[in-house]
């Protein structure tokens, strides 16, 4: 059963949005022109394919932003943001 546990607190989400805005990376949806996004409460990561699906190992944790109008979805790498400490207590890997 999938967990619905949130990764981001509201404060963390605010930091992420501020980071994206500071990079001038949050604009109108290129698909529908709307300017209404919501951010996922969880971190997502694409599954790596290396001849077969790889479970475990290298990951690319992403913040997911979804257009409220058309569903177009954008991903921003959490590690590039360097906003949060990892479980190991380091500020990135």
Return residues touching Zn ion (CB under 5 A): 29, 31-32, 34, 67, 69-70, 72
The smaller minimum CB distance to Zn ion, of residues 34 and 54, is found at 34
* Dihedral in degrees, nearest 10, Cα atoms 6, 43, 64, 26: 100
The smaller minimum CB distance to Zn ion, of residues 29 and 78, is found at 29
Distance of alpha carbon 46 from alpha carbon 2, whole angstroms: 16
Distance of alpha carbon 72 from alpha carbon 44, whole angstroms: 16
User: Cβ of residue 68: shortest distance to Zn ion, in angstroms?
Assistant: 8
User: Cβ of residue 31: shortest distance to Zn ion, in angstroms?
Assistant: 5
């Amino acid at each position: 059963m999938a967990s619905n546990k949130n990764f981001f607190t509201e404060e963390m989400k605010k930091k992420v949005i501020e980071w994206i805005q500071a990079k001038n990376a949050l604009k109108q949806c290129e698909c529908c022109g709307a300017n209404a996004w919501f951010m996922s409460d969880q971190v997502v990561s694409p599954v790596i394919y290396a001849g077969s699906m790889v479970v475990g190992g290298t990951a690319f944790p992403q913040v997911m932003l979804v257009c409220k109008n058309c569903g177009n979805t954008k991903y921003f790498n959490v590690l590039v943001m360097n906003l949060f400490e990892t479980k190991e207590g380091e500020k990135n890997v």
